[in-house]
């Protein structure tokens, strides 16, 4: 049995874990963890006997990086991280302005079964705990000390692991008040309401994919239990409380969801919300079929036309660059271990 890790606990939880130690000790230890200390013995403002005792009871990291892959463009680095029972992936991305963003996983696998996503094809193994989530960020920060922003767009559905997500977000926000954190969900209505009511006040990205209800049901089984009208209500409710623009993610699947009808439906869905549409050209994953046919990337002309159709209907769009493709570290490609 692994010793419990102290890495995923905000100071208040550390105080409980370390009781009856005085509270200032929890603060000192948190500061060391945040500074990247790899061993209790380095915590020189703690008495040696305490360092030894902590070392017997706890560890500082319970996960370890087993592989890293750098994209040719230098834009993305994927880390494979070993956890109890499997391997998860986290990606360090660079945006156009040169800022580093950490893309983190919240589950080992995913139960949602979206037909276009590699993680979906793995099935669901288990939720990650707060240490397993927080340590992904620390592993990335070991390589890139300036990484600040976080997107929960790795493996898994974050809103099906709200407790792990909440605890990790509290911990990560304590290490910097400047963090910009975005949670991407496939559209779990109940989870969105829970975020609206109880926080944390993260930015929201919703993987809409299409606003044509029947097509969405086929592409994303989750939409049967979370139909578009209730999803929209939840987004309106969230936006009323948090007053932040919501990102609608739309993975563009060649010949499937890029028609004028899709553009019109999306504009209809967006009415009354403040949104930006993030168009993501589908990243190839082998052996994924939709209605008996292999999924394919949208052509450049198709993407251009779809984007123009969205813009013509008043939707602001952003085309996501395909960072990470060469290392299977791009959106929806996470989950393989053998082909990299």
CB of 235 closer than 8 Å to CB of 247: no
Q: Is 333 in the site for ligand SF4 (CB under 6 A)?
A: no
CB 325 within 8 A of CB 340: no
Q: Which pair of tokens denotes residue 68?
A: 């890293």
Pick 223 or 317: Cβ nearer ligand SF4: 223
Q: Which stretch binds ligand SAH (CB under 6 A): 8-16, 28-36, 122-130, 278-286?
A: 278-286
- Residue 120 near ligand SF4 by CB under 6 A: yes
Rank residues 52 and 299 by Cβ distance to ligand SAH and give the closer one.
299
Question: Would you say 187 and 207 are in contact if contact means Cβ atoms under 8 Å apart?
Answer: yes
How many residues does the structure list for the chain? 340
Q: How far is the CB of 215 from ligand SF4 (least distance, A)?
A: 15
Examine residue 89 and tell whether it contacts ligand SAH (CB under 6 A). no
Q: Provide the mask over 30-69, with x wherever binding to ligand SAH is found by CB under 6 A and - wherever it is not.
A: ----------------------------------------
The smaller minimum CB distance to ligand SF4, of residues 134 and 184, is found at 184
Distances (CA, A) of 107 to 5, 125, 294: 18, 8, 27
Radius of gyration of the chain (CA): 21
Choosing among ligand SAH, ligand SF4, none, which partner's interface includes residue 182 (Cβ < 5 to 8 Å by kind)? Answer: none
Phi/psi at 329 (5° precision): -115, 10
Whether the upstream peptide bond of residue 200 has omega within 30° of 0, thus cis, is: yes
**Taking the complex as a whole, how short is the minimal distance between the CB of residue 271 and ligand SAH, in angstroms?**
21
**Would you count residue 114 as binding ligand SF4 (CB under 6 A)?**
yes
Smallest gap, in angstroms, from Cβ of residue 3 to ligand SAH? Answer: 30
Task: Out of 5, 80, 106, 119, point to the residue binding ligand SF4 (CB under 6 A).
Answer: 119
Contact call for residues 108 and 86 (beta carbons, < 8 A): yes
Q: Which is nearer to ligand SAH, 54 or 155 (CB)?
A: 155
Paired strand residues for 91: 78, 103
Which residues ranging from 185 to 224 are in contact with ligand SAH (CB under 6 A)? Answer: 185-186, 207, 209
**Binding of residue 266 to ligand SAH (CB under 6 A):** no
Residue 157 in contact with ligand SF4, rule: CB under 6 A: yes
The span of 18-26, 50-58, 93-101, 115-123 binding ligand SF4 (CB under 6 A) equals 115-123
Closest distance between ligand SF4 and the C-beta of residue 292, in Å? 20
- Structure token digits, residue 141: 């920060």
Residue 103 annotated in active site: no
Q: Does 188 bind ligand SF4 (CB under 6 A)?
A: no
Stretch that binds ligand SAH, among 87-95, 133-141, 180-188, 211-219 (CB under 6 A): 180-188
Angle between the N-to-C axes of helices 23-34 and 11-18, in degrees from 0 to 180, rounded to the nearest 10: 120
Q: Where are the alpha helices (DSSP H) in the chain?
A: 11-18, 23-34, 48-57, 118-122, 130-143, 162-174, 189-198, 213-219, 222-225, 228-242, 260-270, 300-312
CB atoms inside a 10 Å sphere around CB 108: 23
Report the C-alpha gap between 317 and 148 in whole angstroms: 24
Instruction: For Cα atoms 111, 331, 34, give the angle at the middle one, nearest 5 degrees.
Output: 90
153 forms part of the interface with ligand SAH (CB under 6 A): yes
Q: Which residues bind ligand SAH (CB under 6 A)?
A: 116-117, 153, 157, 184-186, 207, 209, 249, 251, 280, 282-283, 285, 331-333
Mind telling me the catalytic residues? 89, 331
Binding site for ligand SF4 (CB under 6 A): 110, 112-114, 117, 119-120, 156-157, 186, 207
């Amino acid at each position: 049995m692994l010793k419990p890790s102290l890495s995923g606990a905000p100071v208040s939880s550390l105080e409980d874990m370390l009781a009856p130690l005085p509270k200032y000790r929890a603060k000192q230890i948190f500061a060391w963890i945040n500074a990247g200390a790899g061993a209790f013995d380095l915590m020189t403002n703690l008495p040696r006997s305490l360092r030894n005792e902590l070392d017997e009871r706890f560890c500082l990291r319970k996960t370890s990086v087993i592989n890293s892959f750098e994209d040719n463009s230098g834009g993305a680095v994927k880390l494979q991280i070993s956890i109890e029972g499997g391997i998860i992936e986290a990606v360090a991305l660079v945006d156009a302005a040169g800022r580093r963003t950490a893309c983190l996983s919240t589950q080992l696998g995913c139960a949602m079964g979206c037909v276009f996503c590699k993680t979906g094809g793995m099935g669901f193994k288990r939720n990650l705990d707060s240490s397993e989530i927080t340590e992904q960020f620390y592993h990335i920060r070991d390589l890139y000390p300036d990484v600040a922003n976080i997107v929960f767009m790795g493996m898994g559905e974050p809103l099906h692991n709200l407790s792990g997500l909440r605890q990790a977000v509290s911990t990560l926000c304590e290490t910097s008040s400047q963090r910009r954190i975005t949670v991407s969900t496939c559209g779990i209505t109940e989870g969105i309401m829970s975020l609206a009511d109880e926080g944390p006040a993260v930015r929201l990205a919703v993987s809409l994919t299409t606003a044509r209800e029947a097509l969405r049901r086929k592409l994303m089984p989750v939409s049967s239990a979370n139909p578009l009208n209730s999803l929209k209500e939840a987004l309106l409710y969230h936006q009323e409380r948090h007053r932040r623009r919501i990102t609608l993610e739309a993975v563009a699947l060649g010949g499937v969801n890029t028609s004028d009808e899709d553009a019109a439906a999306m504009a209809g869905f967006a009415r009354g919300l403040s949104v930006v549409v993030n168009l993501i050209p589908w990243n190839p994953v082998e052996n994924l079929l939709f209605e008996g046919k292999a999924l394919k990337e949208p052509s450049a002309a198709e993407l251009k036309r779809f984007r123009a159709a969205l813009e013509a209907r008043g939707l602001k769009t952003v085309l996501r660059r395909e960072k990470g493709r060469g290392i299977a570290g791009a959106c929806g490609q996470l989950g393989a271990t053998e082909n990299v």
